[in-house]
A and B are shown apart, each in its own frame.
Chain A
Amino acid sequence: MNKLTNVFNHNSNLLSIYFTAGFPNADSTLHVLKALEQGGTDFVEVGIPYSDPLADGPVIQNSSSRALANGMSLKMLFDQLKELKNTVNIPVILMGYLNPILKFGIESFIENCRQVGVSGLIIPDLPYEIYLEKYQTLFEQNNISNIFLITPQTGEERIRKLDRASTSFLYMVSSAAVTGVRDGLSESQIQYFERIKNMQLKTPAMVGFGISNHKTYREVCRYAHGAIVGSAFIKHLETHGDDASEIIKFVKNLKNN
């Protein structure tokens, strides 16, 4: 069974953390992963830096530029991840844009993912239809879960389709401007979470935007299986570097307050 699926079968209130490979330093990737596990992160998303992302905010974009300047590439990342299985037990997902993956060669990319022990992939600009047509078999043969994104604008019919095709979790994001934030979550966010919750999908859902503290993390967990923290952790790395004890403290504060 896929490690990631397993985590969802046995836990709720999951905490996932995103960071960019090669940030703040080229060799930070494994240190950060290890510290995140020690702090109690349930699974980690490692971002593959790309110069022209269409779905990242300024904080993550900035970390990607720095990582690219540090020389990070898919080749370097897979070299580092050769030690992944000896470093952490929690599932690891890669998140990256399609062009660097195509340039690397998608077959060999998936093959590398399996070999180093990556459990899942988020490729925001790979359309669902093209995944089905061209890549589903490849992913399945290598036991790599493809994670789909849904937004407040995604229609019910499409969500049902994605639910059926999912093998791990659905990633709930929001692109629309968040206005009128009160006490962590806005009313439109809550409506969106409730709408998804009421659909009673077979696939667990994780919420991933604007979560920066324990309070919002707990609130989000009322509606979903857990939360994904990205920008807030990148900011932490910007300030504190990849110091393990600081990372552990960050995760513990987030999870347990």
Chain B
Amino acid sequence: MSENYLKKYPTKEGFYKEYGGAFLPPALEEEMKKITDAYFAISKSHNFISELRSIRKHYQGRPTPVYYCNRLSEKYGGRIYLKREDLNHSGAHKLNHCMGEALLARYLGKKKLIAETGAGQHGVALATAAAYFGLECEIHMGEVDIAKEHPNVVRMEILGAKVVPVSKGLKTLKEAVDSAFEAYLKDPVNTIYCIGSVVGPHPFPMMVRDFQHVVGVEAREQFQDMTGELPDSVVACVGGGSNAMGIFSGFIDDEEVALYGVEPGGRSMKTGDHAATMMKGKPGIIHGFKCYLLQDEDGNPSPVYSIASGLDYPGVGPEHSMLKDIGRVNYDMVTDKEAIDAFFELSRLEGIIPALESAHAVAYALKLAQKDPRKSVLVNLSGRGDKDIDFVVENYGKQYGIE
């Protein structure tokens, strides 16, 4: 990998090789250009940076720790470390980019933040940021996810956000994005669509990565402090891929560090039973950007599924799409079953209940550890699992001794 990877990608037009860009109707195209210009003008200013840094330290509680999993490593071999983004305020890495996006929105004079959410983590984080900055907030969420992630819906409402249920199609993440775009198009001047991952049209994949970069920077320094070396592998789950880009970006120029992105393998490899976009998709355009895409022969996005509501998206970040092609990141997958096993293993061996999304990364780390017990693996534990407990106990409790 060449030096200064982060300066090389994306291009001025938002491309990561052939992926990314902004394939948008003109009304949105104009707004994205304004946001891009504003981002470049504001985000490098001293005041913006110092305000964001102060927020991270005093409000979010950063830096989040890196933690060595003693009992887990003993059982599975290897040396397993976690970057504890579950300890970031609001319980997931999502607040890192939400505070950045909301701060930018305030600089732009926007009155209202609009976003989609899958598991509700991004929605909760954005509602948190909106409360902090005194902005209105409207979160679009599929009805299936609303039922499954009830605690997060309540949290958003307590934080003062309006939750808009989406009843189209499969009523999950993709439809929530459609609905949020629709709402944004109604008033692009006073509102801003704060996309919840490294997806969507330029500049969002770049902006969200830049705001998440702090995870990788911290983790790299902390890991070296703890061990005197760099990890052999870094593992993160990939739905859209924001937490993965955050941690990968800290190690991307370290050629000796292997990077693993873990996609949801769901119930089976049949269409509609998984969301393994990189494994099974073909390049295409969705929601204004080019990426690997699960799509039918007519170019309509395919139905997707995962036990983790934050991972079931038929597209994936454009930067991940490029990193797959150039071979810098290895993409693989983990099934629902493996993720649930890891969910309980981490809970019972370390006292940490992970989000079902992050449990995919943990499951993969356990495989790596078993494969090569001499090596170290750093997992981005992107979120905590409180939101998932009712769903898990109801559907899987018995198998794990909960009556």
Chain B 155-188 residues near chain A, CB threshold 8 A: 168-169, 174, 178, 181, 185-188
Range of interface residues on A (Cβ < 8 Å): 35 or more
Could you tell me if A52 and B187 are in contact, using CB atoms closer than 8 angstroms?
Answer: no
Could you tell me if B27 and A153 are in contact, using CB atoms closer than 8 angstroms?
Answer: yes
Could you tell me if B299 and A101 are in contact, using CB atoms closer than 8 angstroms?
Answer: yes
Give 17 A-B pairs besides A51-B301, A52-B286 with Cβ atoms closer than 8 angstroms.
A52-B178, A52-B287, A54-B24, A54-B178, A55-B25, A65-B168, A74-B298, A99-B286, A99-B299, A101-B299, A103-B284, A103-B298, A103-B299, A153-B31, A153-B188, A175-B25, A175-B188
Binding-face segment, A82-90, A121-129, A136-144, A189-197: A121-129
Q: How far is the CA of A73 from the CA of B295 in the complex (A)?
A: 14
Collect the chain B residues with CB atoms within 8 Å of residue A154's CB.
26, 30
Q: How far is the CA of A8 from the CA of B25 in the complex (A)?
A: 24
- In the assembled complex, A176 has its CB within 8 A of some CB on chain B: yes
- In the assembled complex, B189 has its CB within 8 A of some CB on chain A: yes
- Once A51-B301, A73-B298 are accepted as A-B contacts, the answer to whether A176 and B26 lie under 8 Å apart by CB is no
Q: How far is the CA of A176 from the CA of B189 in the complex (A)?
A: 8
Which residue of the partner chain, among A54, A65, A68, A130, contacts B25 with CB atoms under 8 Å?
Answer: A54
Residue in chain A with minimal CB distance to B283:
A102
Collect the chain B residues with CB atoms within 8 Å of residue A75's CB.
298
- Once A52-B287, A54-B181, A175-B185 are accepted as A-B contacts, the answer to whether A127 and B24 lie under 8 Å apart by CB is yes
Q: How far is the CA of A99 from the CA of B23 in the complex (A)?
A: 10
Collect the chain B residues with CB atoms within 8 Å of residue A155's CB.
30
B29: min CB distance to chain A, Å? 6
Q: Per DSSP, are chain A's interface residues mostly helix, strand or loop, or mixed?
A: loop
Could you tell me if A177 and B169 are in contact, using CB atoms closer than 8 angstroms?
Answer: no
Could you tell me if B187 and A176 are in contact, using CB atoms closer than 8 angstroms?
Answer: yes
Residue in chain B with minimal CB distance to A152:
B27
- Once A125-B288, A176-B187 are accepted as A-B contacts, the answer to whether A100 and B299 lie under 8 Å apart by CB is yes
Q: How far is the CA of A65 from the CA of B186 in the complex (A)?
A: 21
- Once A127-B22, A175-B185 are accepted as A-B contacts, the answer to whether A102 and B288 lie under 8 Å apart by CB is no
Could you tell me if B286 and A151 are in contact, using CB atoms closer than 8 angstroms?
Answer: no
Collect the chain A residues with CB atoms within 8 Å of residue B181's CB.
54
Residue in chain B with minimal CB distance to A100:
B299
Chain A CB count within 10 A is highest, among B23, B188, B286, for B23
Chain B 285-343 residues near chain A, CB threshold 8 A: 285-288, 293, 295, 297-301
Q: List 27 A-B contacts (CB under 8 A).
A: A50-B299, A50-B300, A52-B178, A54-B178, A54-B181, A55-B25, A55-B28, A55-B185, A75-B298, A97-B285, A99-B286, A101-B299, A102-B299, A104-B299, A125-B24, A127-B23, A130-B21, A130-B23, A149-B26, A151-B26, A151-B27, A153-B31, A153-B188, A153-B189, A154-B26, A173-B26, A176-B186
Collect the chain B residues with CB atoms within 8 Å of residue A104's CB.
298-299
Chain B contributes a number of interface residues (CB within 8 A of A) equal to 34
Which residue of the partner chain, among A51, A102, A175, A177, contacts B284 with CB atoms under 8 Å?
Answer: A102
B54: min CB distance to chain A, Å? 34
Which residue of the partner chain, among A65, A74, A173, contacts B27 with CB atoms under 8 Å?
Answer: A173
B359: min CB distance to chain A, Å? 29
- Once A54-B28, A54-B181, A177-B187 are accepted as A-B contacts, the answer to whether A125 and B23 lie under 8 Å apart by CB is yes
Collect the chain B residues with CB atoms within 8 Å of residue A102's CB.
284-285, 299
Chain B 30-60 residues near chain A, CB threshold 8 A: 30-31
Residue in chain B with minimal CB distance to A73:
B298
A101: min CB distance to chain B, Å? 7
Which residue of the partner chain, among A68, A74, A125, A149, contacts B285 with CB atoms under 8 Å?
Answer: A125
Q: How far is the CA of A149 from the CA of B25 in the complex (A)?
A: 8
Chain A 76-97 residues near chain B, CB threshold 8 A: 97
Chain A 54-81 residues near chain B, CB threshold 8 A: 54-55, 65, 68, 73-75
A157: min CB distance to chain B, Å? 12
Collect the chain A residues with CB atoms within 8 Å of residue B27's CB.
55, 151, 153, 173-176
B327: min CB distance to chain A, Å? 24
Q: How far is the CA of A133 from the CA of B66 in the complex (A)?
A: 47
Could you tell me if A98 and B295 are in contact, using CB atoms closer than 8 angstroms?
Answer: no
Could you tell me if B26 and A103 are in contact, using CB atoms closer than 8 angstroms?
Answer: no
Residue in chain A with minimal CB distance to B24:
A125
Collect the chain B residues with CB atoms within 8 Å of residue A127's CB.
21-24, 29
- In the assembled complex, A35 has its CB within 8 A of some CB on chain B: no
- In the assembled complex, A17 has its CB within 8 A of some CB on chain B: no
A173: min CB distance to chain B, Å? 7
